[in-house]
Amino acid sequence: MKIRQILPFASTALLAALSGCGGESANINPEPNTVAYVNGSCASNTTDCVEFALDYPVDGLNFTCSSDTSKTYITMIEPKSNAATGKCSEGDKVHFFIQEKTNQYIDLGTVSLSDIGMVSTAGAGYPRLSVLDMARGLTGRQATSLSSSDETIQVATAIVRLLQALSVEGGGTIAGDIQPLTITTLKKEQLANIAESVEVGDYRSGAYASILRPWVDVSQVSQDDAYQALNTLVYMNNSASYQANYPILAKEDSQLPQGLYGCNLADCKSTVADLKHLIGQYQLITDRSGYTFGYGMQWKGAVSANTINPILTVSGELIRKVRPDRMVAAPQTTWVNPLNKRIQGPFHFSVNDNAADDFKITQGKVFNDYLIAGTEGFYKLLTKSTTANPADYGQWQQTIGTDQFNGSFDAYKFFPVNFLDNRVFKTVKNVNVGKSYIFPLYATLTFNFANSTATPVKLGIVLDEHGNIRTDIGANATETDMSGECATLSQSEANLVDTNGITQHRIGVLGTADVDNKAVTLRMILANSRFQQLDGAVIGLNTKIEQVEGTSNQSIVVGGARANIGNLVAGNSTHITLSDFSGSTVHWSNIYNAQLATYVNQSTNQASEADQALSKIQGGTVSMAVASCDQEANKVRT
């Protein structure tokens, strides 16, 4: 038997450190003249060290760790990742501020590191520490809505306005755009020019603007621009790939993740004849506008008893004997709430045309900016808590006929997106009037099939000015030619409708801008029957579909993907290419078809001809070119 599991390449940080956390309050008024020019109090490779990344990329922001407040550190932007990082011991409270050899300072709040991450998960992306976290440290209250009337949002907007003013003052940044900011030693020393320090009451009253005027003029950034920049940060923090697997590591009553698993009875260990099990897996993308979409599959039915490891018996039998049902998640905003990291729910996957049969995710909370735990053992491992909290577990439910299925799931959040550097990501919004821009960029993807007898398929897409990817399918599309017409949108919410009246689809997100290679990284999931042969295709997710059992070691790799746009950046031509992170051809894969093949290949199953045909369309290569309707090398903002 051959069973396929789907693994993110960067999942090895899952089971780190088990010790508890602690820490004392931070020193609110740090001593001047104690700056140590390193970015934290501990070594990244030690088990009790948590390295975090700021959502606003600031190099030179001061902070102290509560385990030793006698030393002051600064955040540093790492050249390779472009992330502004710092590190403290687990359980520390981190106090942020701006100060250098002066009595005057700018207080930016104290954040409990245990609220951000209990362990460092650098392999999947550092736990993100946000401006909203700093604002909560100042107000003592978590924002309850992304509204300008919320007190914590008001303070967060003021902090963003301050950082934006420093960035605009330095040149090269348009108000409202998030770009790397370096606060130099000299600039911080000039805080001696202000009459008093800036603290929480000054953000609330608005007095911070007049206090800081001798140091930086925040009026060069409007309140609206700062609020929009904060919105960009909040949604960027949530934007990532999310993945759940069926039970592959499961062991009864262990601390290992149990996977997506449940049944139609209260006791899944029951021996009654009516017991039916359900396992599943899914891949999701949350884009930079807060919409989450993707697809998965489920297997359900009765299995034979096995007292050694019942859960793995369920996985083995169902995947061999049961045809998987596809689950499709249309774009929704009911996934993870960006303010409290809880699934807002219910998040729906459709399994057929009857909405009453939907698979619904009802609850779950993201911990360490990395994982949702579905069971008590894994929750305690993840949170380092001795107390169970079922309200935080990943839970789902589904009604099929008279059967009411319920269960749990564990999910990874991996490859979070980053800010988009304007040296590459030049948009109609972030360049000055009269300057050239690149995005929105209309392009055509050409999908080739590993099965050489299949006809290649063309698909029109748009890499838009917000860092999201949508389709651009023309009016006369065919099964093999869905090229676009460079249409703009007339309706831009969950349902995208262009000016030709054609419905388009959210399909992906840009991960980051690669300045060295003059490229943008991208991730895409095509999950809609409209895509026909491409329905279920994934690109750039950095995953591996690997066989767990069997004599063969075959695997399908879905590596990274980047659009190389150096010619567009230089203004030389409109020739672009698509490559993986090593410069090789990009591969796409269809995860559902690959799993269906396991069922089809069992000689005891009577697979239909349609399923046999689908099982052969498991992937291929994909290339990219600027769309024929977008061949202007220099688009100029007017």
Q: pLDDT category, 242, cuts 50, 70, 90?
A: very high
Measure Cα distances from 294 to 326, 597, 627 in Å: 11, 20, 25
Buried b (16+ CB within 10 A) or exposed e, 545-557: bebeeeeeeeebe
Report, as an integer, the average pLDDT of 571-587: 94
In the block, which residue shows the tokens 């990532």?
240
Report, as an integer, the average pLDDT of 117-142: 81
Identity at 596, one-letter amino acid code? L
Q: Distance between CA 367 and CA 340 in Å, rounded?
A: 11
Residue 520 has a CB neighbour count (10 Å cut-off) of 24
Residue 109: what pLDDT?
Answer: 97
pLDDT digits (tens, 9 = 90+) for 11-44: 433 333 322 222 222 333 333 444 444 899 998 7
pLDDT at 202 over 70: yes
Please report how many Cα atoms fall inside a 13 Å half-sphere around the Cα of residue 129, on the Cβ side: 34
pLDDT at 236 over 80: yes
Phi (first) and psi of residue 490, to 5 degrees: -105, -20
- By residue count, the chain amounts to 638
Q: What DSSP state is assigned to residue 30?
A: P
Please report how many Cα atoms fall inside a 13 Å half-sphere around the Cα of residue 375, on the Cβ side: 18
Which H/E stretch holds residue 209? helix 208-212
3-state secondary structure (DSSP) of residue 241? strand
pLDDT at 175 over 50: yes
Report, as an integer, the average pLDDT of 47-60: 92
Residue 34: what pLDDT?
Answer: 44
pLDDT at 605 over 50: yes
Residue 13: what pLDDT?
Answer: 36
Residue 10: what pLDDT?
Answer: 40
> For residues 220 and 165, is the Cβ–Cβ distance under 8 A?
yes
Which H/E stretch holds residue 615? helix 609-615
Percent of the chain with pLDDT over 90: 73
Q: pLDDT category, 271, cuts 50, 70, 90?
A: confident
Give CA angle at 568 (567, 573), nearest 5°: 60
For CA atoms 39, 41, 46, 52, give the dihedral sign.
Answer: negative
**Mean pLDDT computed over every residue of the chain:** 88
More confident residue, 30 or 608: 608
The domain ranges of the chain are: 28-238, 240-414, 436-636
Q: pLDDT category, 557, cuts 50, 70, 90?
A: low
pLDDT at 223 over 80: yes
pLDDT digits (tens, 9 = 90+) for 334-373: 999 999 999 998 999 999 999 999 999 999 999 988 899 9
Strand ranges (DSSP E) for 530-616? Answer: 537-539, 543-547, 555-558, 562-564, 577-579, 586-590
Helices 151-169 + 131-139 axis angle, to 10: 130
Q: Distance between CA 374 and CA 411 in Å, rounded?
A: 8
Q: pLDDT category, 253, cuts 50, 70, 90?
A: low
> For residues 66 and 94, is the Cβ–Cβ distance under 8 A?
yes
pLDDT at 145 over 50: yes
pLDDT digits (tens, 9 = 90+) for 417-430: 999 999 999 999 99
Residue 78 has a CB neighbour count (10 Å cut-off) of 14
For CA atoms 144, 148, 151, 156, give the dihedral sign.
Answer: positive
Q: pLDDT category, 177, cuts 50, 70, 90?
A: very high
pLDDT at 141 over 90: yes
pLDDT at 599 over 90: yes
